[in-house]
Structure formats: structure tokens, C-alpha cells
Amino acid sequence: MRKEDCRINMEVVFGKVGGQLTKGTIVKLNRTSVKVRAEEARGRSQEGVTWRVPYSLLHTPAVTVVEGNRSRNKKAEQSSTNIVETLSYNVLQNPAEQLVLEAIASCYSQLNYESLKVNSDTPSDVANEILDKRDRLINMLDGLFAAYGKNVSEKAAYEWFEQKRSYNN
């Protein structure tokens, strides 16, 4: 996570990719690291212990890493009742709504494996850059969902975009 994105009382997840991740809250910002109060046990430490964590090991809670780099999933707590699974393109649809849906489809397309590739020398830099890029895209998606008023599934966004593209051709 970038230093500029961190705030006191911000909820974060910290730990190495592929290692144990722990939920916590930032209590102090320093030049090279933050102090995070753990909201759950970590190793032999109990909940409530304060950890000094470098910015490179911080992640937004919107993303969790499951068993290393195999998969990353959006918020598990997110309510599935407010997710739009089907959308239909309508030429009379509000232009602002169309722009939001286009941006949602664009974010989803940038979240694929090929788009997340970065140029870096060391494996740890690559992992951190990929995580940062993915975190930014997921945060952008959250903002777009708020603007649209509902969460839109990836499938629905792609289908809507394809309908729009086929209508315009």
C-alpha cells in the first residue's frame, strides 16, 4: 500500500503475500512504517497487540490473499443481495449511468492476469506492485459501485458492454 493512501484509524490487512494476513487498524504513521493494532491473534500474539509494519506489507481489507498468490477475492463480508447479475443496454439509458457502467467494465478488464503484469527487477517488488495496482482498481470499483448505487457482477458488466458495442456497430 502506498504511504499516501494510509490514514490513522484506517482498517488494513497486514502480512506477506502467501503468509499469514492479519486485520488491524492503523494507530500511528511514521516515515517508513506504521503502527497497527491487530484486531485478531497473529502467531503467538493476542488480539490488540500493536505491530510495527512497513508500508509494503499493508493491504486494503477489500482484498484478501488466499494460500499465497493462487487467488485474491473481494470482500467476503460484502452482501450478495445487492449485486446486479444481469443488465441490458438501452440506447435511452442515462449517459452518466452508461459512463459508470463502462468504467466498471474497464476496471474488471484491468483486473485480469495479463493486465496486472508489471515491470520490476525483484520478485518482492513485482508482488507489491501487483497488489498495489489491484488494490487501487478494487477501490475504484467500490467508488463506481457507490456511484451506480449497486454492485455489478463482472459477467453483467461485460455482457452490458458487449450489448452496447454490438448496438453501435
Does one domain contain both 53 and 89? Answer: no
pLDDT at position 53, please?
A: 94
- Report pLDDT digits (tens) over 23-81: 899 999 999 999 999 998 888 888 899 999 999 888 876 544 333 333 344 443 444 44
Q: What is the dihedral of CA 139, 7, 130, 74, to 10 degrees?
A: -40
The total number of structural domains in the chain stands at: 2
Domain that holds residue 139: 80-168
Does one domain contain both 86 and 36? Answer: no
Does one domain contain both 159 and 94? Answer: yes
User: Of all helices (H) and strands (E), which one includes residue 157?
Assistant: helix 154-168
Report DSSP state, residue 9: T
Q: Are 102 and 96 in contact (CB under 8 A)?
A: no
pLDDT at position 78, please?
A: 45
Does one domain contain both 54 and 114? Answer: no
Q: What is the dihedral of CA 34, 71, 149, 102, to 10 degrees?
A: 110
150, part of any domain: yes
Does one domain contain both 97 and 147? Answer: yes
Q: Are 58 and 4 in contact (CB under 8 A)?
A: no
Q: Are 55 and 2 in contact (CB under 8 A)?
A: yes
pLDDT at position 122, please?
A: 63
pLDDT at position 118, please?
A: 66
d(CA 29, CA 27): 7
Mean pLDDT for all residues in the chain: 80
Does one domain contain both 101 and 157? Answer: yes
Q: Which residue has the higher pLDDT, 122 or 167?
A: 167
Q: Are 111 and 137 in contact (CB under 8 A)?
A: yes
Does one domain contain both 87 and 55? Answer: no
Does one domain contain both 50 and 104? Answer: no
Does one domain contain both 102 and 43? Answer: no
68, part of any domain: no
70, part of any domain: no
Residue 169 clears pLDDT 60, i.e. is over it:
yes
Residue 57 has a CB neighbour count (10 Å cut-off) of: 21
d(CA 77, CA 57): 22
Does one domain contain both 39 and 89? Answer: no
